[in-house]
């Protein structure tokens, strides 16, 4: 019989049973084991698009597969057949031999489109089998997934559980997507994130350099591309608050209050992490920083990707943060797989970071949400932990953006308050919060706000620093903001931008 026309071929899902469909309890029979939460709903949705096959990676699993298939059919799931997922030794954790040939035969018998098919399981061999078939592999972190994650190669889709693979498989109500979510560039960027790629994208604060927060190798690549030291933790960006309980092992009631008041928005919360979060993303800390951005493009990207995304600012480490796609292109170029252009960032300074400890909620970094607003919601003051002393053992920072020197242009900066000082030489730049009279002798002048509005100052700060830095000046004098509201975040960035280690030469 000849090969069917490709238009009539149907994609397939080849699903491992142990730990993927069934909760991992090796002492119980398959008829006694519970389904992973959400699996039945997922499979009923998936069967409209895919032919669903179940199987395992050992001879003994064939009997279990038949039992599980029958249970699924009783629940209204159409199971197309049983399939072997490759030979392995008796132990469930032993190395597996990739053997795509049985699935190739199944595909020929059932008229399946292998390039559009997926193999899904909790062992690296399952994901690798998908690639060997010419399709895609999806790695779930249920079952033994956490145990073997470090063995997984690059370029695979990593999700917390089978139901979380919806977006990766193109499922979900297409009619409910916003106009932004339907943009081809957002869809392409989401696919790249799921497959281990690096995507620069806009948020309301600054542009982020994003990778799948659950993919160790993708996160490590962010550190490499950015040149970020491994001791500086990242922020996990989420589209839906349901991710919090998967990423954080405990959420204090005060944290819930802040989520309700300020999410989506420029607020990051530092919480105890679950094993789902790889240590590379948290710099080995027992906590994870989480935020839900408000930017429409960021929210569409995160929702479409269906995963949490670690995203430090999309610029070389320590330099001025990017607030436009052009800033990212100029500095990272083709080292990034995709750059989403969402226009200028409206807030312009990074998110506020709040942690929680025995002494109460503490401010780790001032940012787009003012401490005054946070304290009003909490009904109590924040403990200040924003200085150089805000470290844990061995000098490790507890949150992003806490190093003494950060957000720094190459040109040295001198901060001032009150009267504008005279320029020391003709190659001096001046950065003002608002217009001043009788200012002269400076080679370049940047005014951040005509009215001195702090929100406008924050929005324009990083772009102005970049323009001054491009002029090859000897020094820039920068005016401090009032130390209230957003002024605290603005001054924090100016202090860190002006900090110089002893003996640091100009332009370092």
Domains for the chain: give ranges and CATH numbers: 6-165 (3.40.50.1000), 174-349 (3.90.870.10), 413-498 (3.40.50.11030)
Q: What's the pTM?
A: 0.83
Give the chain's largest Cα–Cα span.
89
Give 362's contacts (C-beta < 8 A, 6+ positions apart): 354, 355, 356, 382, 383, 384, 385
Distances, alpha carbon 489 to alpha carbons 365, 433, 495, in Å: 8, 14, 10
End-to-end CA distance of the chain: 69
* Model confidence at 464: pLDDT above 80: yes
Residue 276: name the closest of 236, 305, 313 by CA: 236
pLDDT of amino acid 352: 96
Instruction: State mean pLDDT over 289-315.
Output: 95
3-state SS track over 409-462: CCCCEEEECCCCCCCCCCCEEEEECCCCCCCCCCCEEEECCCCCCHHHHHHHHH
The dihedrals phi and psi of 120, each to the nearest 5 degrees, come to: -125, 130
> What is the band of 90 on the pLDDT scale with cuts at 50, 70, 90?
very low
* Model confidence at 394: pLDDT above 80: no
3-state helix, strand, coil in the chain (%, to 5): 30, 20, 50
> What is the band of 157 on the pLDDT scale with cuts at 50, 70, 90?
confident
Residue 497: name the closest of 235, 315, 332, 361 by CA: 315
Q: What is the DSSP letter of 5?
A: P
- Chain segment 258-283, per-residue pLDDT in tens: 999 999 999 999 999 999 999 999 99
> What is the band of 164 on the pLDDT scale with cuts at 50, 70, 90?
confident
* Model confidence at 91: pLDDT above 90: no
Least confident of 148-152, 306-310, 462-466: 148-152
Residue bearing the bigger pLDDT, 65 or 71: 71
Helices vs strands, H then E, count in the chain? 15, 22
pLDDT of amino acid 171: 82
Q: Are 82 and 96 in contact (CB under 8 A)?
A: no
What percent of the chain shows pLDDT beyond 70?
86
* Model confidence at 57: pLDDT above 50: yes
Instruction: State mean pLDDT over 356-383.
Output: 93
The dihedrals phi and psi of 347, each to the nearest 5 degrees, come to: -80, -50
């Amino acid at each position: 019989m000849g090969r069917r026309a490709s238009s009539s071929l149907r994609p397939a899902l080849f699903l491992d049973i142990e730990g993927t469909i069934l909760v991992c309890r090796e002492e119980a029979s398959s008829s006694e084991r519970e389904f992973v939460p959400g699996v039945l709903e997922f499979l009923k949705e998936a069967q409209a698009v895919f032919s669903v096959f179940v199987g395992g990676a050992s001879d003994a699993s064939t009997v279990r597969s038949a039992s599980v298939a029958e249970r699924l059919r009783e629940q209204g799931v159409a199971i197309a057949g049983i399939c072997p997922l490759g030979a392995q030794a008796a132990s469930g954790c032993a190395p597996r031999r990739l053997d795509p040939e049985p699935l190739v035969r199944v595909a020929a018998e059932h008229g399946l489109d292998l390039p559009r098919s997926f193999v899904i399981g909790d062992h690296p061999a399952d994901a690798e089998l998908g690639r060997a078939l010419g399709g895609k592999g999806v790695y779930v972190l249920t079952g033994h997934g956490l145990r073997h994650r470090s063995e997984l190669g690059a370029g695979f889709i990593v999700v917390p559980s089978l139901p979380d693979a919806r977006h990766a498989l193109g499922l979900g109500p297409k009619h409910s997507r916003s106009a932004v979510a339907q943009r081809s560039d957002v869809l392409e960027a989401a696919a790249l994130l799921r497959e281990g790629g690096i995507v620069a994208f806009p948020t309301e604060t600054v542009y982020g350099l994003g990778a799948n927060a659950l993919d160790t190798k993708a996160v490590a690549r962010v550190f490499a591309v950015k040149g970020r030291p491994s001791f500086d933790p990242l922020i996990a960006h989420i589209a839906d608050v349901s991710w919090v309980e998967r990423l954080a092992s405990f959420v204090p009631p005060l944290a819930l209050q802040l989520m309700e008041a300020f999410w989506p928005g420029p607020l990051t919360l530092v919480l105890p992490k679950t094993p789902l979060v790889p240590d590379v993303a948290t710099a080995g800390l027992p906590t994870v920083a989480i935020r839900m951005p408000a930017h429409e493009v960021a929210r569409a990207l995160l929702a479409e990707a269906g995963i949490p995304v670690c995203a430090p600012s999309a610029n070389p480490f320590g330099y001025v943060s990017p607030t436009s796609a052009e800033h990212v292109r100029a500095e990272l170029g083709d080292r990034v797989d995709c750059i989403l252009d969402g226009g200028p960032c409206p807030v312009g300074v990074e998110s506020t970071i709040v942690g929680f400890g025995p002494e109460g909620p503490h401010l780790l970094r001032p940012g787009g949400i003012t401490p005054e607003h946070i304290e009003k919601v909490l009904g109590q003051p924040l403990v200040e932990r924003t200085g150089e002393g805000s470290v844990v053992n061995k000098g490790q920072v507890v949150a992003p953006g806490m190093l003494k020197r950060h957000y720094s242009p190459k040109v040295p900066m001198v901060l001032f308050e009150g009267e504008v000082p005279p320029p020391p030489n003709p190659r001096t730049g001046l950065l003002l919060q608002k217009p001043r009279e009788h200012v002269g002798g400076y080679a370049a002048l940047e005014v951040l706000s005509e009215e001195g509005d702090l929100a406008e100052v924050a929005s324009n700060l990083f772009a102005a620093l970049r323009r001054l830095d491009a002029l090859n000046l000897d020094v820039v004098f920068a005016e401090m903001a009032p130390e209230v509201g957003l002024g605290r975040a603005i001054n924090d960035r100016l202090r860190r931008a002006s900090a110089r280690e002893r003996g640091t030469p100009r332009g370092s």
